[in-house]
């Protein structure tokens, strides 16, 4: 079944590339997304099962698979309006839609593979898919961002591959080691810790470009800025999740070894430095898309910090990623609408948004409240759990530093976003036809899901996350 | 024989760091491809025919023939001298040599950590480390896109050497996926290289600085 899905991905991407009729091109993407939904139904009763030699379905893969389907579907709906508004050439649209199919298929591969080699191959494939999506606008800025993303990402992924090979060197000391997660986890306490440390360091460095963390975050920010908003939404949500899952696979496999405290320290340092950079840049940026891109970096940092604490922190990290994916993609989608109305993404040119586009303004306002973890946003729960874990582990200084940096981030976001929503500062022409209540309602639904999670803490989500972290040390 | 091939490969790395004429890169990359084939052949000749054919494809066809030819084609022989970075001339050789010495030291200290066939593995490991770091040095030290592409391929060659230390542990399906990914990324980079060249009429990366905060 899974091979059939990947064959269909390749065929549909190929056919879509040559489909120059706008409607046919859109329909092909939706057919593909229906296929992913179908695969989801096939996978749901098989959680915890090995599907074949290279693929399996586990709880964490399934959680982010559901997020992938939701965000991709909403993204495809938004792209229809984007194409109409920008009068995108049929060839460009065909390329973008083919890229969307390839990108989505690659992420499915990252989420479902049970082999470190194929995990690497699918992660590299996401780079190629993302490259096509980032280049959409065909101007000097998109060319610059695409080149930088492709080059830096390729180097990062090459370093991650060196990490996989170090794992192989470690594995050679034990007989009959293959590169499947289960075998490595089973034998990891017999593997040389030095090679495992080298492996994990290179993997975190390499996949940092996918999660938007130090050291390779710059190209990720540029990519989210210049690509169409729906692409920025995907990079900030599903690709970030894929990067997390890739790192999680290595972490889980090595979690029973003596290097666990070292891995936690590495993730904590990565998270703290990334949070510092995100906070510093968020005070400076005027471009709304870059602001949201740095906000994604901030949340990726919080996820890493929470995860590095272990225990409740694991739960907090995954819950935070789920909700961040929904809120951040909504905000990116709304920026597209804002751009249609004001023809700008610089905050100084955008104001009185709540008056000009009331529903869009509500999305921005509720999105802002969600992203800064104000009640009833579900992100409040994950952030509280993170601080609770930090304090329980007696990481007082780290908790204080994180709290201060988060306050800086909230200030940076509040100044820009509240100004956009309430302040009158626009001097240029406004295109009221750019407002789309239909799009805003979809975005609002995503944010309301996060509020629902915050208010009611649905049992299936709690159980799903608990199942995902069951194999990690307490 | 393996010693000879590894040493020639390391010398080629030092030369890559000093190259000023872009066309010299293509010959060096082809040479590295042939050397990698030689090393892979000696390492894997006891393996299956399919695996040997695969390695032949990866090294001789892809690394020694296709990539240099492709790069030569996209630069259309019009680019002769590449833009330098902060470290110039023989200082680059000095730094590349230091990287090689450092790689030997790392290899020496890690010898005991490689328990299976350690003497052989450490040779590949040393050359691989040198190749990855020289590739990174070239990428940082040069401002033009051609050299950035070359640096990526030098890093990839280093990774290939590292995979030789593993022998035939990776399944064929994974090897094929990895080769396909690398092949596609070089192709895609080539396509974008051409677009950047056409758009900016210049290959200096200082032109690519519009995106700032």
Distances A291 to A136, A212, B197 between C-alpha atoms, Å: 21, 13, 30
Residues A211 and A278 occupy one common structural domain: no
Which residue, of A257, A290, A305, is where some domain finishes? A257
Would the CB atoms of A140 and B200 count as touching at under 8 Å? yes
Task: Say if residue A104's pLDDT is above 70.
Answer: yes
Q: What is the pLDDT of residue B63?
A: 82
Q: What is the pLDDT of residues A226-247, one digit of tens each?
A: 999 999 999 999 999 999 999 9
The model carries a pTM of 0.92
Task: Write down which residue in A218, A238, A257 finishes a domain.
Answer: A257
**ipTM field:** 0.86
Q: Is A284 on the interface with B (CB under 8 A)?
A: yes
Range in A133-137, A168-172, A357-361 the model is least confident about = A168-172
| Confidence at A423, pLDDT banded by 50, 70, 90 | confident
List the beta strands (DSSP E) in A11-104.
49-50, 56-57
Q: How far is A166 from chain B (nearest CA, A)?
A: 8
- Pair (A163, A213) in one structural domain: yes
Show the tokens assigned to A423: 């302040």
pLDDT for residue A188: 82
Q: How many domains does chain A have?
A: 2
pLDDT at residue B20, as a whole number: 75
| pLDDT given for residue A315 in this prediction | 95
Query: Do A276 and A396 have their domain in common?
Result: yes
Q: Choose the closest CB to A155 out of B145, B152, B170.
A: B152
CA distances from A152 to A124, A210, B177 (A): 12, 11, 20
Q: How many A-B residue pairs are in contact by the CB < 8 A criterion?
A: 120
Cβ–Cβ of A179/B169 closer than 8 Å? yes
pLDDT tens for each residue of chain B, 213 residues long: 888 888 999 999 888 888 777 778 888 888 988 898 888 888 777 777 777 787 787 788 888 888 888 888 877 756 655 656 677 777 888 998 999 999 999 888 887 777 667 777 788 888 999 999 999 998 888 877 888 888 888 998 888 888 877 765 666 666 676 677 677 777 777 777 777 777 766 666 666 767 777
- For B3, other C-beta atoms within 10 Å of its C-beta total 8
Quote the CA–CA distance of B199 and A439 in Å, as a whole number: 35
Burial class (CB in 10 A: 0-12, 13-18, 19+), A191: buried
Contact list, A159 vs chain B (CB under 8 Å): 132
CA atoms of A164 and A202, how far apart (whole Å): 9
The enclosing H or E element of B178 equals: helix B172-200
Do A71 and A220 belong together in one domain? yes
The number of angstroms, rounded, from the C-alpha of B79 to the middle of its chain's C-alpha atoms is 20
Same domain assignment for residues A281 and A211: no
Could you tell me how many residues make up chain B?
213
Q: Are residues A226 and A308 in the same domain?
A: no
**Do A285 and A194 share a domain, yes or no?**
no
Judge: B174–A121 Cβ closer than 8 Å, yes or no: yes
What separation in angstroms does the CA of A307 have from each of A57, A241, A316, A388, B67? 22, 13, 7, 13, 42
Interface contact flag, A168 B213, Cβ < 8 Å: no
- Shortest distance between the Cα of A462 and any Cα of chain B, in A, equals 35
B156/A121 Cβ within 8 A: no
- Cα angle B81, B154, B66 (rounded to 5 degrees) comes to 80
Same domain membership, residue A283 and residue A230: no
pLDDT score of B204: 67
- In B, minimum Cα distance to A176 occurs at B169
Would you call B21 helix, strand, or coil by DSSP? Answer: strand
* Distance set, CA B95 to CA A82, A103, B16, B145, B159 (Å): 50, 39, 12, 21, 21
Instruction: Tell me how close the Cα of B34 comes to any Cα of chain A, in angstroms.
Output: 21
In a mutational test of the B interface, the residue from A53, A114, A162 whose CB has the highest number of chain B CBs within 10 Å is A162
Residue A427 has pLDDT above 70, yes or no: no
User: Which chain B residues are closer than 8 Å to A187 by Cβ?
Assistant: none
Query: Confidence class of residue A85 from pLDDT cuts 50, 70 and 90?
Result: confident
A residues 57-116 lying closer than 8 A (beta carbon) to B: 115
| Secondary structure element (H or E) that encloses residue A442, with its range | helix A437-456
Q: Are residues A82 and A95 in the same domain?
A: yes
**pLDDT single digits (tens) A187-229:** 888 888 888 999 999 999 999 999 999 888 999 999 999 999 9
Q: Which domain holds residue A267?
A: 259-474
Helices assigned H by DSSP within A87-216: 90-112, 116-134, 140-171, 181-187, 193-211
Q: Which residue of B has its CA nearest to A278?
A: B213
pLDDT of residue A358: 92
Helix (H) or strand (E) holding B16: helix B2-18
- Answer yes or no: do A166 and A88 share one domain: yes
Measured between beta carbons, which residues in chain B are less than 8 angstroms from residue A147? 145, 192-193, 196, 208
Task: Give the B window 179-208 contacts with A, CB below 8 Å.
Answer: 180-182, 184-185, 188-189, 192-193, 195-196, 199-200, 208
Separation in Å, CA of A145 to nearest CA in chain B: 8
Q: What is the pLDDT of residue B169?
A: 62
pLDDT at A141: 87
Asked if A215 reaches chain B (Cβ–Cβ under 8 Å), the answer is no
**Shortest distance, CA B185 to any CA of chain A (angstroms):** 7
Domain boundary among A206, A227, A257: A257
pLDDT at residue number A84: 85
Q: What is the pLDDT of residue B177?
A: 67
Q: Cβ-count burial of A404 within 10 angstroms (0-12 exposed, 13-18 middle, 19+ buried)?
A: exposed
Residues 129-148 in B contacting A (C-alpha not used; CB under 8 Å): 132, 136, 139, 145, 148
Are A233 and A277 found together in one domain?
Answer: no
A394 and A356 together in one domain: yes
């Amino acid at each position: 079944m899974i091979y059939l899905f990947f064959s269909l991905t390749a065929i549909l991407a190929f056919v879509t590339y040559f489909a120059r009729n706008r409607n046919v091109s859109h329909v092909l993407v939706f057919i593909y997304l229906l296929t992913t939904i179908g695969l989801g139904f096939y996978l749901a009763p098989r959680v915890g099962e090995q599907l074949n030699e290279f693929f399996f379905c586990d709880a964490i893969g399934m959680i982010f698979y559901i997020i992938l389907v939701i965000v991709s579907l909403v993204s495809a709906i938004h792209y229809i309006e984007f194409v109409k508004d920008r009068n995108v050439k049929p060839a460009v649209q065909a390329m973008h839609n083919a890229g969307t199919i390839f990108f989505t298929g690659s992420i499915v591969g990252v989420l479902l593979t049970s082999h470190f080699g194929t995990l690497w191959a699918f992660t590299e494939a996401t780079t190629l898919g993302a490259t096509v999506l980032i280049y959409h606008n065909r101007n000097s800025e998109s060319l610059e961002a695409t080149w930088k993303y492709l080059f830096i990402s390729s180097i990062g992924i090459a370093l991650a591959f060196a990490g996989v090979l170090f794992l192989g060197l470690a594995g050679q000391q034990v007989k009959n080691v293959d590169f499947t997660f289960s075998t490595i986890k089973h034998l990891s306490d017999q593997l040389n810790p030095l090679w495992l440390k080298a492996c994990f360091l290179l993997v975190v460095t390499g996949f940092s470009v996918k999660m938007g963390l130090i050291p390779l975050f710059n190209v990720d920010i540029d990519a989210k800025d210049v690509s169409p908003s729906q692409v920025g939404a995907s990079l900030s949500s599903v690709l970030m999740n894929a990067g997390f899952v890739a790192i999680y696979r290595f972490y889980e496999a090595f979690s029973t070894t003596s290097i666990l405290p070292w891995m936690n320290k590495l993730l904590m340092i990565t998270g703290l430095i990334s949070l510092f950079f995100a906070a510093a840049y968020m005070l400076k940026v005027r471009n709304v898309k870059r602001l949201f891109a740095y906000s994604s970096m901030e949340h990726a940092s919080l996820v890493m910090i929470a995860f590095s604490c272990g225990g409740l922190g694991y739960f907090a990290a995954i819950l935070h990623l789920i909700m961040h994916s929904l809120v951040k993609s909504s905000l990116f989608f709304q920026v597209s609408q804002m751009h249609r109305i004001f023809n700008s993404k610089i905050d100084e040119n955008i104001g009185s948004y709540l008056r000009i586009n009331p529903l869009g303004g509500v999305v921005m306002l509720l999105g802002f409240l969600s992203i800064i973890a104000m009640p009833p946003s579900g992100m409040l729960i994950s952030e509280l759990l993170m601080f609770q874990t930090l304090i329980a582990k007696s990481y007082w200084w780290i908790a204080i530093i994180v709290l201060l940096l988060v306050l800086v981030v909230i200030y940076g976001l509040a100044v820009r976003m509240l100004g956009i929503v309430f302040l009158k500062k626009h001097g240029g022409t406004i295109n009221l036809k750019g407002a789309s209540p239909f799009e805003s309602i979809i975005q609002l639904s995503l944010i309301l899901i996060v509020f629902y999670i915050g208010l009611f803490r649905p049992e299936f989500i709690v159980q799903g996350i608990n199942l995902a972290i069951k194999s990690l040390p307490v | 024989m393996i010693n000879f091939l590894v040493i020639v490969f390391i010398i080629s790395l030092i030369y890559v760091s000093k190259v000023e004429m872009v066309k010299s890169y293509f010959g060096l990359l082809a040479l590295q491809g042939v050397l990698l084939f030689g090393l892979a052949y000696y390492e894997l000749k006891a393996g299956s025919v399919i695996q040997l054919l695969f390695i032949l494809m990866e090294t001789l066809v892809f690394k020694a023939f296709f990539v240099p030819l492709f790069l030569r084609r996209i630069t259309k022989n019009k680019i002769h001298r590449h833009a330098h970075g902060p470290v110039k001339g023989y200082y680059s050789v000095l730094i590349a040599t230091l990287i090689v010495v450092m790689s030997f030291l790392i290899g020496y200290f890690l010898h005991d950590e490689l328990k299976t066939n350690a003497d052989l593995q450490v040779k590949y490991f040393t050359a691989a480390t040198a190749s990855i770091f020289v590739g990174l040095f070239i990428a940082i030290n040069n401002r033009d896109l051609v050299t950035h592409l070359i640096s990526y391929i030098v890093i990839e060659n280093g990774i290939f050497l590292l995979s030789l230390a593993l022998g035939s542990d990776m399944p064929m399906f994974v090897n094929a996926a990895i080769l396909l990914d690398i092949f596609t990324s070089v192709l895609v980079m080539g396509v974008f290289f051409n677009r950047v060249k056409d758009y900016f009429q210049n290959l200096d990366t200082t032109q690519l600085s519009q995106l700032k905060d």
